[in-house]
Amino acid sequence: MRKTSLWEKDKYRFLIPTVLVCALLVSFPFVYMLYTSTQYWIALRPERSFAGLGNYRSVLLSTEFRQSLLTTVIFVISSVAGSIVLGFALALVLNEKFRGRNVIRALLTIPAIIPPAAAGFTWKFLLNRDVGLIGGFFLPLLGVKRALLGDPGWALFSVILADVWCQTPLMFLILLAGLQAIPMELFDAARIDGAGFGQVLVRIIIPLLKRVLGLAVIIRFIFAFTTFDVIFTMTGGGPGIATQTLPLLGWKTGFLYYDLGQAAALAVVMLLITVFFSSTLVRMVKL
């Protein structure tokens, strides 16, 4: 009879210190955030008082919150859809065997390793109407002479485009890994039976990639919903509040208005929205 090792006996006990440290690092900021959200607290004033649900009421009833929520919804849906569709298309193409495939794969991962703030500054320069390669050269050739980041509609489109560019490589890698896990015998059998690309896509690839696609959507939703760096460096939420999403509203409330109570309440609301939609997506794809 095989002897049971010490590790097999106490493997969960060895995890206790790590679990406790992680729980402390997560629970303390969360509890403190909940506490702060119930306080009337302006950072420049020493006094604070109990607000109850007053901060939540002020946040949810404000016009700026509703406008930022609408902007966030547009940004999240557009960015998630764009990066998933583009990443899926690239994965399908680069899953085939051809010369130079590995080089193209490596090049496509470059945006993923660039810090989002640096990517935001890069796109801001590219779209500049005076010196930017896109805004100052290509768009005037097409008859477009407006400053994209100065126009409310175009500014939102521009930050969505930049975010899609940043996040598509991750979606591409996830979906490519899923494609490579599908047995090649299925594709060979489909070709022998005379199935076209559309039939293979609908009947084999998508059903077998359902969970991988679901995981990619969940990850992408969380990243898009909490995007701050790219938007902040490109527009700062402007012009006006045209590109102001909920994370930027939280930053403005806490670090420009110094209203820490309302900023914490907004953070709790964002957390609840994220948990609700993420859990809904998990149930939908049955992860």
- One-letter amino acid of 17: P
Helix, coil or strand: residue 227: coil
CATH number for the domain whose boundaries are 55-285 = 1.10.3720.10
Phi-psi region of 173 (alpha: psi -120 to 50; beta: other; left: phi over 0): alpha
Q: Are 168 and 80 in contact (CB under 8 A)?
A: no
| Low-confidence residues of the chain: pLDDT under 70 | 1-11, 286-287
Q: Are 129 and 145 in contact (CB under 8 A)?
A: yes
Q: Residue ranges of the domains in the chain?
A: 55-285
Identify the bridge partners of residue 48 per DSSP, sorted by sequence position. Answer: 41
3-state SS record for 157-216: HHHHHHHHHHHHHHHHHHHHHHHHCCCHHHHHHHHHCCCCHHHHHHHHHHHHCHHHHHHH
| Cα–Cα dist 102/98, whole Å | 9
Q: What would the two tokens of residue 198 be? A: 């559309």
| Cα–Cα dist 9/4, whole Å | 7
Which secondary structure element, helix H or strand E, spans residue 20, and what is its range?
helix 16-37
What does pTM read for this prediction?
0.89
- For the segment 188-227, what is each residue's pLDDT rounded down to a tens digit? 787 777 777 778 888 888 888 888 998 899 999 999 999 9
| Cα–Cα dist 150/131, whole Å | 15
| Cα–Cα dist 128/235, whole Å | 12
